[in-house]
A and B are shown apart, each in its own frame.
Chain A
Amino acid sequence: MSKRKHNNRTHKKGRLLPFIIFHRWIGLSSLLLLILVSITGILLNHTEEFSLDEQYINNNWLQKWYGIKMPEQQKIIKLDNDHFAQIGKQIYFNQLRIAEDNAPLRGVYKTNDFNVIILRDSLYLLTFDGDLIEKINSENGLPTPISHAGFSDSKNKQIILEIKKKLYTTKDNFISWSEAKTEIISPLILGKPDNDVKENYRNAYLGNELSLERVILDLHSGRLFGSLGIYLMDFAAIILIMLGLSGTWIWSRRFRKKY
Chain B
Amino acid sequence: MRHLLFLFILVLSMNSFSKGVYQSNDDFLNEVFENKVPKTQTLWLLGEIKKGAKKILGEKPGQLRIRYWKKNQQTSWILEEIGKEKLITVGLVINNNQLNQIKVLAFRESRGWEVKEPFFLEQFFQVKLTSELQLNRTIDGISGATLSVRALKKLARLALFYHMQIMSNQKV
Interface residue ranges, A against B (CB under 8 Å)? 125, 127, 131-135, 139-141, 173, 175-176
Contact = CB atoms under 8 A, between A and B. Distances in A.
A176 B40 contact: yes
A127 B44 CA distance: 12
Interface string B100-144: 000000000000000000000000000000000000000000000
Contact of A131 (B24, B42, B64): B64
B25 A134 contact: no
B62 interface: yes
B40 A134 contact: no
Main SS of the interface on chain B?
A: mixed
B64 A139 contact: no
Interface size class of B (residues with CB under 8 A): 10 to 19
B71 interface: no
B63 A175 contact: no
A140 B80 CA distance: 13
Contacts of A127: 64
B55 interface: no
B65 interface: yes
Contacts of A132: 62-64
A133 B25 contact: no
Contacts of B51: none
B40 A133 contact: no
Contacts of A141: 40
Contact of B64 (A133, A140, A175, A176): A133
A21 to B, nearest CB: 47
Most buried by B among A125, A127, A173, A175: A175
14 contacts: A125-B65, A127-B64, A132-B62, A134-B63, A134-B64, A134-B65, A134-B67, A135-B63, A139-B24, A140-B67, A140-B78, A175-B40, A175-B42, A176-B40
Nearest to A176: B40
A141 B24 CA distance: 11
A173 B44 CA distance: 13
Interface string B40-75: 101000000000000000000011110100000000
A132 B66 CA distance: 11
A139 B25 CA distance: 7
B91 to A, nearest CB: 12
